[in-house]
Amino acid sequence: MLPCLSHILSLTLLVHLFVRLVRALPLDAFVVLLLPPAGPALAHLHPSQRRVHKLHYTMYNASELWLTYQLASRIHSPPTTQLIDLALSPRKMHDLEDVLDYVFRQGYIEAKYRSSTYWERADGTPVKASESIEGVMTMGVGMTPESPLKLVVDDAPTALWFSYHNLDQPSAKTVAQRVRLTEAPHIRRLAHVTNYVFQEGYLPPHVRPFVYWQGICGRRIEDHIPVEDLLKWGEGINEDKALKLVVDNRPAGMRTPEPTIQIPHRVGTPMLKTSHSSPTMKSPCSHPSGYCL
């Protein structure tokens, strides 16, 4: 008899709390509480609904933060999603800076990239590291695998610089241009950059047979070289070290024959041609190999 009475009292108390909750919240907020949405839409809710998501955060996701890694060196690969269990961390985390400290302390990202790591929402909106974890989650970010917080790591150059050199107009001003690799994921080789230039109309189609690339030292670079390798070697990393897209549509009689020099290919270096060196003499340059090949 007593256990049955205890159950009735417990049920009555729950019903009473439920009724008070219904009266205290607007209808749309109550629906959100029972059926919490996921995704970026939460970030655009009316301020009156924020308390509902704060309650939802406390009830369901207080100990879990979902994030995704976006590494510049893996721009062509799908991002990796990770669940951070806040309750299992040896140090209590209050804001996103604490989460960053945890990520680097665990070795998930190399320490040398600490100065080039930052937070963003899924739509690219920057998020300050001083933002509290609770504040981020109440906006619907990082609560689910479908709406993770994005950790951006610029562990590699995200743009390629090059300049135009028209040999038919030697007095023309040299103009440098930047290609954002994050906005053109199809660009993997130098040939893709060449195609991009003509597809965008930056050069007229009739000069297509007369263009080629040169590196910092003036050596010719073949189109099949991966852009990633060029950036690693320091080619095209900024405006001062821009690659050269040479347009040589001068009459045949005005062109200087370019000698073809057979140089043994070395592992880790591109297949290159030179215009002003011999097979037996190598000139020092800024290339990581130490020579203009």
Residue 205's CATH number? 3.10.20.90
Rounded mean pLDDT of 247-269?
54
Global pTM reads 0.52
Residues 6+ away with beta carbon under 8 Å from 83: 64, 65, 66, 145
Q: What is the pLDDT of residue 139?
A: 86
Out of 121, 153, 185, a domain closes at 153
| Residue 143 DSSP class | S
Question: Is the Cβ–Cβ distance between 145 and 65 less than 8 Å?
Answer: no
The pLDDT value recorded for residue 264 is 40
Total tally of structural domains belonging to the chain: 2
Residues 165 and 132 in one domain: no
* Residue 76 maps to a domain: yes
Domain span at residue 43 reads 29-153
Residue 19 lies inside a defined structural domain of this protein? no
Percentage of the chain modeled with pLDDT above 90: 38
Same domain, 126 and 144: yes
CB 214 within 8 A of CB 246: yes
Task: Specify the amino acid at residue 1.
Answer: M
- State the Cα–Cα distance between residues 120 and 122, nearest whole angstrom: 7
Q: Does residue 13 belong to any structural domain of this protein?
A: no
Distance separating alpha carbons of residues 243 and 130, to the nearest angstrom? 39
Evaluate whether residue 163 is within a structural domain. Answer: yes
Determine the 3-state secondary structure of 64 from DSSP.
Answer: strand
Do residues 96 and 180 both lie within one domain? no
Computed over its alpha carbons, how large is the radius of gyration of the chain? 29
Q: From CA 149, how far away is CA 147, in angstroms rounded?
A: 7
The residue type found at 126 is: P
Task: With beta carbons less than 8 A apart as the criterion, state whether 226 and 191 touch.
Answer: no
Question: What is the DSSP pairing of strand 117-120 with strand 80-85?
Answer: unpaired
Band (pLDDT 50/70/90 cuts) for residue 275 is: very low
> How large is the average pLDDT for residues 180-189?
85
In a domain, 83, yes or no: yes
Which residue from 125, 130, 131, 129 is spatially nearest to 147, judged by alpha carbons? Answer: 125
pLDDT over 50 (residue 130):
yes
Which of 134-138, 238-242, 276-280, 284-288 is least confident? Answer: 276-280
Q: What is the mean pLDDT of residues 273-290?
A: 43
Helices then strands, each counted (H, E), the chain = 7, 13
Tell me, yes or no, whether 121 and 218 share the same domain.
no
